[in-house]
Structure formats: structure tokens, C-alpha cells
Amino acid sequence: MHFLVVDDDDDCRSTVVEYLSAMGFNYVSIARNGVDAFRIVSHNPTINFIISDWEMPKVSGIDLLRSCKLSNNLKKIPFLMITSQTSFERMKIIQAGKANVDQYLLKPFNLSVFQERVLSIIENSKCFLDHQEAKLVSKMRQMQKKRGVK
């Protein structure tokens, strides 16, 4: 799988990339804002999963999501929205749902919660996994079952 990680915060972006690497996913592109992200995903047909922060300069994560869902070429790409906890969370969740976000994740989060969201999206979407990736997802689910996680 080829992930696009979008966040203006270097530490948050690095954490997501590290978590993906810990899960065995190493094919990752990065962007610092929604403008760059939309340009990258529009010109790179191998990207098949977007993980984006909500609040960014230039174009926000919700606007990136909306733009992707309006594009025939991009609308099926799974999208995980990440945001910090604020008093406006209920409103954000409703907006993200209306824009067809696949999953929503609140900061701060740990590897276990992140992994669960990513695996859930992969399993519930039409992501195309090669044989090695499918084995990796299956192995992660087996490890979660042994630990008593969903």
C-alpha cells in the first residue's frame, strides 16, 4: 500500500510515519498541507490511503477530504482524519461523516488505537492489497486477538 500522510506538524507527521513503519507499511509520501496533498495524490495513482490532520494552513483536512470525494479518480481512496480534542469535536465528527470520511482519530493516540483504525479501514474498504500486504494484515489481526484486542 502507498500512504499519503498530511500534517503541518512535523512531530505528528513523523509519529504517523513511524506507526505505519511499525505496522510494516513503508511506502509513504508526505505533505505539509492540503494544497500539496491534493497535488501529490492527483498526480500519483499509486497512493491508495490518505491519513490527514484536520487543521492545517492553506487547505484544511476536511477540505482535502471533500476535494478527494468530488474527484472521480480519488473518491474511493480511504481517508483517515486525525484531529486534536477541542470543544468543537461533535461538529467536526458530523462534518467529516457528511464528507464520507472512513474513520476519525483523536489526538493523542497510541500505536494500538492507530493500528486498529488503519486495519479497520483496510478491511472495510476496497483497498487492493498485494499478497504480502494481505498476509501482514492477517498477522496483525492474529496478534491483536492473542492480546485480547478487538
- pLDDT score at 93: 73
CA atoms within a 13 Å half-sphere pointing along the CA-CB vector of 92: 19
| Tally of residues, the chain | 150
Alpha-carbon dihedral sign for residues 82, 32, 44, 24: negative
pTM: 0.85
* Cα 41 to Cα 25: distance, rounded to the nearest angstrom: 18
3-state DSSP percent of the chain in helix, strand and coil, to 5: 50, 15, 35
Cell of 3: 500512504
Taking only the tens of pLDDT, the chain with its 150 residues reads 899 999 999 999 999 999 999 998 999 999 999 999 999 999 999 999 999 999 998 999 999 999 999 999 999 999 999 987 664 666 777 777 788 888 888 888 999 999 999 988 888 876 656 656 667 777 777 777 777 755
Q: Which amino acid is at 68?
A: C
